[in-house]
Amino acid sequence: MKLCLIQMNSTPDHAENVARAAGYIDQAVAADKPDLVVVPEFFNHPYVFQYRDYAHIDEAEGEDGIAISTMREKAREHGIHVIATIFEAEAAGLCYDSAIVIDPAGAILGRYRKAHPAAVRSLEKIYFRYGSHFPVFRIGAWRVGINICYDTFFPESARCAAVNGAELIVVPFAAPAVACWRETMQTRAFENGVYFAPCNKVGLEGEWTFGGRSMIVAPDSEVLAEAGDDGDETIFATLDRARVFEARRAWPMFRDRRPDLYTAITTPTEDIPRID
């Protein structure tokens, strides 16, 4: 598989952001036609979740909005898969952070909804509901899972996708500079024997500066491609499924897992015994 990540900044002009993403897809196809293109989380508008203002609910759109409609057109035009993540309006008063998976015919294969809306510095939890599943999608011969941004810092998220069969996990991001960013992405790849591909925003949006440094990491933790932190950039890598199998043979974590011992992880918080 040829994988392409498009790192970009978003302005208040939704139509311009979508048009720029479409242009980057055109350029990527002209340079080295990829099988799968990924754009960052909320590529179509600035990161409004830094503000407590319910007027930003109006930023949400459905799959028939300009963002996904345009990405579907580009997928169909070029015969490629696209994964695009939006603030999705599901119904009145119900929104999600959704990665939409589009096939080469422009059809929607499905979606992954962020399981961990962030509420560390951001206010995502007041805007959208969490998802509850870690689906895996067939893209050519590959099984592809998705995490979104803050999910990455819960290692269970990538593990669930991998246990469900993922060989590649793509991660649309909207993150400022993060300590141990590179090492974290390498660790997620290594501990799950998967290709791991964070695709981040970059530059100033509102009062936040996003960290860029999108990358594609191999299952043995080798960084195959890496963007900088100072502007829009497109990166590519050719992935080899044999490398997934080699990594999992060399480090058989799936053989050695002990889910019978991990009940503390799934015990409701109020039921966990405390030691005084």
Residue 270 appears among annotated catalytic residues? no
Q: Which of 149, 167, 199, 201 is catalytic?
A: 149
Residue 114 appears among annotated catalytic residues? yes
Residue 41 appears among annotated catalytic residues? yes
Name every residue whose Cβ is closer than 8 Å to that of residue 168 and which is 6 or more positions away in sequence: 1, 3, 142, 143, 144, 145, 194, 195, 196, 197, 239
Residue holding tokens 């294969």? Answer: 109
Q: Which of 41, 124, 205, 233 is catalytic?
A: 41
Q: Which of 63, 74, 95, 114 is catalytic?
A: 114
Structure tokens at 51: 């503000």
Catalytic residues: 41, 114, 149
